[in-house]
Structure 1
């Protein structure tokens, strides 16, 4: 189907009615209201509270609880009271008082799911390349990524991150680690952070250092120069970090926190990497994230990647720690996993996105099963959300199925139960983004990040444990209601206060503008 023809804005124009200066200077909430205020729709339920307004006191009555809490496990026909953004009580026949009452008998209440590695900005250009064409994707992904980040305006970044966060919530994902590696300027980084913050999703905006682009539409530039600019941290990057902390992430109790992803460490001198990481930690951020793979060839002695993935080098340099979050980690050795475990590090596998790695011998299958088995806090994620489905239950199932790809995984998965696979996306997944004490289970005192599932669809099985039913049969279509920190974001199967048609039109307009711009950039060898 040919996309509708929508008159595209100019390459750097802000949303209609908003000047660039005003867009970049407004507070997050004001910018959202001015640029993307939803239009009233007769069939759309009105939200109980705005994403940034106070949470209502809510009583969810009579749901079947898949708690993912080892003390409670599964509770039938039980009430949950939400107060001040947290789970205040769990029990039978709780008094409602002045709370809004949600009748949920026959429905399943579970924790909001966790996505530990997602590039939100990618989603703006969804469909330009697809993984269902493996050869074309393998050859074209890096070029597409670099051209796209050069062509996207700050306003595009805002829109991409806003849509990305809303799509996550719509699917029952209430916490994400947004690996923001496509923002090579201050304006783009701040706009992206505002977008995901305005979506209302919780988690981490993890800003990638070492991003710069010396090219744009119409440029001809060497791939060596492009690679250097995208892997060298400059004072401009540190200035961006300062602005992000001051303007958007000054509240240490905010739903969304700032993390940092240092420049690619592989092949760099240990002393150089240590200096950058120490400076990153000196900013006070609580999350240091990195893409980690076993290298195709060993790197020179004295550099990161001299042995295996570089985990050994980082460990010997004293750089691993409880704030270290490794994404992917395919083919990490048992010793490397022990180093992560013993230093409190975390790992996230993006199992659907990593299926093509089976064509690359030094990468092969995802590491989540082995990492969990080794005692590492391990989660899963979507990764490249421009080419993969948003239904997160499918990613949970693929995390289970992918364990059968290798002999080690087959031994690990042999004794799994449904709750073990769900663990990657709930309680364990929360630990894997340093939020295990905050979210990931239905536990009194934890943040009220909740997903209520309908069970009346013909394909939703009524037999088995709650974990069996959710793990094997649930889909995004079953997500009736979502709360993030006690705020209702989705009810009766519809996102509250979100005009999807308007956002889709803005996305298509951006794609129609960006496509020719991407095609005008030439990389030379």
Structure 2
């Protein structure tokens, strides 16, 4: 082991962190990793295609209920998806498999992997800590326990690079397990280049499609936006990889103008939280009036903003990411679902903070689906006419897949089962007890399913979860590392951990 890794500082380009956290490496090969990790169920291991995602390897997902999310491809009660290497080759009934290995998908819904456009993965060790908390202390009793004070001003200040790595890695793998194949990680933990490198290493180690969100940390931040250039050149110069980059441009931090400038110089999207609770409306209005919004902007939450700024964002082609359960629970403001739709801004969905709410996509879809319908239904019961259209289950699946890909500028690679795109695919068990009998595919996904229905997950054609089991993961070791990080963080932040009270 190298000296720096021994000190707990994961180094980019060093393989030791991956060997520390993942049981099987590329050196032993996918087949050997599968046989080792699935030894408790050898029948499953023997049934799994080998070498998936590699050039020349062809796999046919046969006989599933195909939900493509591409109108040009269509949906099929029973059809196949043919994969060559990391790309989708064809979608349709009775495809000629040729030399392809077969994945039998009868009783499975075959669809694009879910996309989370805003997730603070560095907080994984803080899961459920602020389940009853709100965003900021506003003088109410609930405000005494708040995200701004506890997470941003206490916990985030004491993270070491090794804490960043295990939190990011564990959070990524947990989302892979629930079918999220793409994430924008809003890490907010870039206290040093070593912290930033630890984030990148963890995202690489997780092996899923990730957008590295270089958001300013807290404390001494003056030199860190400049590190964006190094990070972009060192880790994100190629488009032919799973990792891409977004520049954080938080307008509540002094000097945000420089971050916007750097992001646009680097040609990456500029993302930011836009929340009225933090008093952002005046600054946001100024940017709108100055014509600063663009199609490269990702606005997270968009609560409490003026009609003028909303129209400017829509006219500029900016994207909106909604975290509906968090916005409702943490007093960000009412989720502006209808506002976005009225302006023909198709939003994406995001999980936000696991210290308050789960990061699974089914919770995000169901919350968005039921809240928008509650708004419209209440207006209908009050006798209003010319009401907005009720969201359908297919609509919110689109938000959780294709619209997320568009917002992250990845729709040329993912978001739908379109031939030529990379094979980010999930197989959802529609024969399970919570779904049987299947009567409506989108409805089953949105209104009935949960994490337990995620059977198989592919990222760029490579199987990462097979028949309910994550691959290449030593979960007990990872859990121990995460718990050790949690214990350190609570102690270093001076926060007492009580399992029943905060």
TM-score by length of 2: 0.85
Structure 2 Cα separation of the partners of residues 512 and 430 of structure 1: 36
The correspondence of residues 65-144 of structure 1 with structure 2, limited to 5 A, is 65-131=66-132, 135=141, 139-144=145-150
Partner of 2:236: 249
Of 433, 437, 459, the match for 1:458:
433
Structure 1 Cα separation of the partners of residues 58 and 3 of structure 2: 37
Structure 2 Cα separation of the partners of residues 315 and 157 of structure 1: 35
How far did residue 243 of structure 1 move? 3.2
Aligned residue pair count: 469
Distance 1:276 1:483, change over 3 A: closer
**Stretch of structure 1 that moved more, 154-163 or 126-135:** 126-135
Distance 1:276 1:405, change over 3 A: same
Kept in 2, the 8 Å contact 1:112–1:174? The answer is yes
Question: Is 2:344 aligned against 1:344?
Answer: no
**Stretch of structure 1 that moved more, 197-206 or 412-421:** 412-421
Structure 2 Cα separation of the partners of residues 206 and 326 of structure 1: 13
In structure 2, the residue corresponding to 1:386 is in which secondary structure?
coil
Structure 2 Cα separation of the partners of residues 76 and 117 of structure 1: 32
Structure 2 Cα separation of the partners of residues 82 and 138 of structure 1: 53
Say what the alpha-carbon RMSD is for the aligned residues.
Answer: 3.0
Question: Is 2:337 aligned against 1:331?
Answer: no
Question: Is 2:297 aligned against 1:365?
Answer: no
Structure 1 Cα separation of the partners of residues 115 and 171 of structure 2: 14
How far did residue 305 of structure 1 move? 3.6
Structure 1 Cα separation of the partners of residues 333 and 101 of structure 2: 50
Structure 1 Cα separation of the partners of residues 376 and 304 of structure 2: 13
Question: Is 2:445 aligned against 1:470?
Answer: yes
Distance 1:294 1:168, change over 3 A: same
What per-residue deviation string (whole Å, max 9, x for no partner) do you get for residues 115-143 of structure 1?
11100101122233323789557633222
Partner of 2:263: 280
How far did residue 273 of structure 1 move? 4.4
Kept in 1, the 8 Å contact 2:59–2:82? The answer is yes
Distance 1:236 1:207, change over 3 A: closer
In structure 2, the residue corresponding to 1:70 is in which secondary structure?
coil
Partner of 2:411: 436
Partner of 1:315: 288
Kept in 2, the 8 Å contact 1:274–1:317? The answer is no
Q: Which runs of 5+ in 2 are unaligned?
A: 25-32, 136-140, 381-386, 497-502
In structure 2, the residue corresponding to 1:115 is in which secondary structure?
strand
How far did residue 64 of structure 1 move? 0.8
Kept in 1, the 8 Å contact 2:376–2:388? The answer is no
How far did residue 212 of structure 1 move? 4.5
How far did residue 452 of structure 1 move? 0.4
How far did residue 318 of structure 1 move? 3.1
Distance 1:494 1:154, change over 3 A: same
Partner of 1:390: 359
Structure 2 Cα separation of the partners of residues 16 and 141 of structure 1: 36
In structure 1, the residue corresponding to 2:308 is in which secondary structure?
helix
How far did residue 405 of structure 1 move? 5.6
Distance 1:314 1:453, change over 3 A: same
Partner of 1:381: 350
Question: Is 2:176 aligned against 1:153?
Answer: no
Distance 1:76 1:332, change over 3 A: same
What per-residue deviation string (whole Å, max 9, x for no partner) do you get for residues 330-354 of structure 1?
1334433322222121011101111
How far did residue 267 of structure 1 move? 8.3
How far did residue 285 of structure 1 move? 3.9
How far did residue 275 of structure 1 move? 4.2
Question: Is 2:193 aligned against 1:186?
Answer: yes
Structure 2 Cα separation of the partners of residues 17 and 190 of structure 1: 13
